[in-house]
Chains A and B, each alone.
Chain A
Amino acid sequence: MTLPRSLSRLAWTSVLLALPAATLADTGTLTLFADGEELATEGFVAPKLTRDGWELRFDRILITLDQVTAHQTEPPYDADSGAAIDAQVSVPLVTEPVTVDLVNVDDSGRVTVATATAPAGFYNALSYDLRPGADGATMVLSGTARREGTEVAFTLSTDTALRHRCGEFVGDERKGFLTAGGETSLDITLHLDHLFGRADQPADDEMNQEALGFDRFSAGGTQRFSLDGLHVGHVGEGHCHVEAL
């Protein structure tokens, strides 16, 4: 059976018109935030000094994010598996490098990275890259360090590129539920204590064992470091699978 061309066109036009209408009716607004918690905005101040006893206050903490995608997965993604995220719905939020300052935040202590219209559902997985931006740096931290009468100004930068695959946000509230016409948010959270350690945590804590501390940067000025082997990127308190790019 062959349909006349005009009727065939009508049939396909019906398909094309019907699908966007259904999609628009089932969408909401998804906003991506980034933050470095209080350690970014207030610094490492007593009792939360660095593992080696430095007080740090930051003027800026620039990070560059890329390829950020929110996912709906069933079953839930297990970040410990390290497997690729097998999602039923994936919404690209950042498709080219975006640099944000984790010190210059809004009233909630976060910085808005991106906003997108997205299908309703539970966004229970997130993937993102930390990679060098236009200035060649993945992360730049500048500020002032003090310990026992010594004060040094520092600018620390890294060009380590990392891919993160994360499960659902872990925090005070469960995030990621998007209803039609509603809004929700997801967070990328950088744990700076994985970088500098914490004096108020046991010295043999694994985080302290792996953290760089600040002694190695105590000469001040501009210095470089590597994120290799560190686990700074999270989703709230939830861990991510991390691999080098």
Chain B
Amino acid sequence: MWRPCKPTLVLLPLVAVALVALASPGPVLAHAAEVHLETVRAVAVVARYDTGAPMAGAQITVYSPANPAEPWLRAQADAEGRLVFVPDAHVGRWSVQARHAGHGAVAHLMREEEDGTLAAGWQTAPASGPDPLQKGLMAASVIWGCIGTALYFRRRNT
């Protein structure tokens, strides 16, 4: 097995604090302002080569489960190969691609629940396809449906 100079991607679910400044909707007061603090779930992308060197300035492309064929976000990593983004509410697999100097890598994470629970890694995704039991039940249903059809015509002929 050869593993020369491969880029690697690490996705880290984060809880970040967002600052939201809102103009007061109440009585007009000179210079009145409000600041709200909200916690949001963010994802930290760490793009580096397997030598440990950062993919400085790597092009980061994020794909949402809502439309995995088109970029949801294009951005540039910093000098350390890092980028933080806040995914929206779509549940499913989020994919992140990092490219730099002709090398690229893809990593995935699942947004598993609508409350924003995130899990990074390869194996967190529930299989979208039917499992063997489901496949067996589907096949049995098709066969039983055909047998039922045959019995129906047999009954009509007798």
Q: Which residues of A contact B (CB under 8 A)?
A: 3-4, 7-8, 10-12, 14-15, 18, 74-76, 78, 80, 82, 88, 122, 167-168, 170-171, 174, 177, 191, 193-194, 201, 205-207, 210, 229-231, 236-239, 241-243
Contacts and interface: CB of A to CB of B under 8 A. Distances in A.
B104 A8 contact: no
B101 A74 contact: no
A7 B147 CA distance: 8
Contact of B143 (A11, A177, A241): A11
B99 interface: yes
B129 A239 contact: no
Contacts of B127: 74-75
Contacts of A174: 61, 63, 68-71, 97
Nearest to B7: A239
A206 B146 contact: no
29 contacts: A3-B150, A3-B151, A3-B154, A10-B153, A11-B143, A11-B147, A74-B125, A74-B128, A75-B124, A75-B125, A76-B95, A80-B6, A170-B105, A174-B69, A174-B70, A174-B71, A177-B69, A205-B5, A206-B4, A206-B49, A207-B4, A207-B5, A230-B4, A231-B4, A237-B99, A237-B102, A238-B104, A239-B6, A242-B1
B150 A170 contact: no
A194 B142 contact: no
B2 A237 contact: no
Of B2, B63, B129, B142, most buried by chain A (CB within 10 Å of CB) is B2
B103 A239 contact: yes
Interface residues of B, number: 43
Contacts of B8: 80
Contacts of B4: 194, 206-207, 210, 230-231
Contact of B104 (A171, A193, A230, A231): A171
Interface string B39-59: 000000000010100000000
Of B51, B104, B143, most buried by chain A (CB within 10 Å of CB) is B104
B5 A193 contact: no
A38 B105 CA distance: 21
Contact of B146 (A15, A171, A194): A15
A80 B5 CA distance: 12
Contact of B150 (A10, A18, A177, A231): A10
Contacts of A80: 3, 6, 8
A133 B123 CA distance: 38
Nearest to A227: B2
A75 B3 contact: no
A167 B106 CA distance: 9
